[in-house]
Amino acid sequence: MRDVPLEAIRDSFEGIMPSVIATTDAAGMPNLSYLSHVHYVDSDHVALSNQFFSKTAANVELRGRATVAVLDGRIGVQHTLDLVFESSSRSGPIFDRVSAQLDVMASLQGKSHMLKLRAVDIYRVEACRRVDPVIAIDKPQRAGVERDLLAEAAAATAELTAITDAETLLDRSLEILEERCGFRHSMILIADEEGRKLQTVASRGYPHFGFGAEIAFGDGIVGVAAERRLTLRIPDMRRSQRYVSAVAIASGLARDDIPLPAIAEPQCQIAVPLISGGRLSGVIFAESEESFAFSYAHEAALEIIARQIAASLLIFELTDAAGDGAARHTAAGGGTDADRTFGFRFFPRDGGVFIDNDYVIRGVPGRLLYHFVRSYAETGRREFSNREIRRDRAFNLPDFKDNLETRLILLRRRLEERGGPIRLERPDRGQIRLLIEGVPEIRVVEG
Partner 1 sequence: MLEDDVAAFIAGHVMMIAATRDEAMRAHIGRGCGADFDPDVGDLTLLVSATQWPEFCANARPGAPIAFTVCRPDNYKSLQIKGQIIDVREATADQAERGRRYLEGMLAVMADLGVTRLQLSTVLTNADLVAIRFWPADLFLQTPGPGAGERLRSGA
Interface residues with partner 1 (CB under 8 A) are 16-18, 20, 22-24, 27-34, 36, 52-55, 63, 65-69, 71, 73-78, 80, 82, 114, 131-141, 238, 291
Task: State in angstroms the smallest separation of the CB of 184 from partner 1.
Answer: 20
Helix (H, G, I), strand (E, B) or coil at 412: helix
Task: State in angstroms the smallest separation of the CB of 71 from partner 1.
Answer: 7
Would you give the end-to-end CA distance of the chain in angstroms?
67
Task: State in angstroms the smallest separation of the CB of 392 from partner 1.
Answer: 54
Residue whose CB is less far from partner 1, 71 or 411: 71
- Interatomic CA distance for residues 225 and 235, integer angstroms: 15
Task: State in angstroms the smallest separation of the CB of 227 from partner 1.
Answer: 26
How far from 66 is each of 33, 49, 204, 236, 431, CA to CA, in Å? Answer: 11, 13, 45, 26, 63
Residue whose CB is less far from partner 1, 118 or 208: 118
- Interatomic CA distance for residues 69 and 92, integer angstroms: 26
Residue whose CB is less far from partner 1, 32 or 332: 32
Non-local (6+) Cβ contacts of 3 within 8 A are 127, 128, 129, 130
Residue whose CB is less far from partner 1, 136 or 254: 136
Residue whose CB is less far from partner 1, 56 or 312: 56
Rg (CA), the chain: 25
Kind of pairing, strands 119-131 and 268-276?
unpaired
Task: State in angstroms the smallest separation of the CB of 250 from partner 1.
Answer: 22
Task: State in angstroms the smallest separation of the CB of 236 from partner 1.
Answer: 9
How far from 302 is each of 43, 100, 173, 181, 247, CA to CA, in Å? Answer: 22, 19, 10, 8, 22
Helix (H) or strand (E) holding 309: helix 296-322
Residue whose CB is less far from partner 1, 194 or 289: 289
Report the sign of the C-alpha dihedral through residues 273, 277, 278, 279, in that order.
Answer: negative
Residue whose CB is less far from partner 1, 28 or 334: 28
Asked whether 15 and 8 are in contact (CB, 8 A), the reply is no
Task: State in angstroms the smallest separation of the CB of 413 from partner 1.
Answer: 36
Residue whose CB is less far from partner 1, 67 or 375: 67
Kind of pairing, strands 341-347 and 439-444?
parallel
CA 238 to chain centre: 20
Task: State in angstroms the smallest separation of the CB of 382 from partner 1.
Answer: 55
Task: State in angstroms the smallest separation of the CB of 289 from partner 1.
Answer: 12
Residue whose CB is less far from partner 1, 71 or 306: 71
Alpha-helix runs per DSSP H in 216-276:
220-228, 243-250
SS3 content of the chain, % helix, strand, coil (to 5): 35, 30, 35
> Cβ–Cβ contacts within 10 Å for residue 405, how many?
23
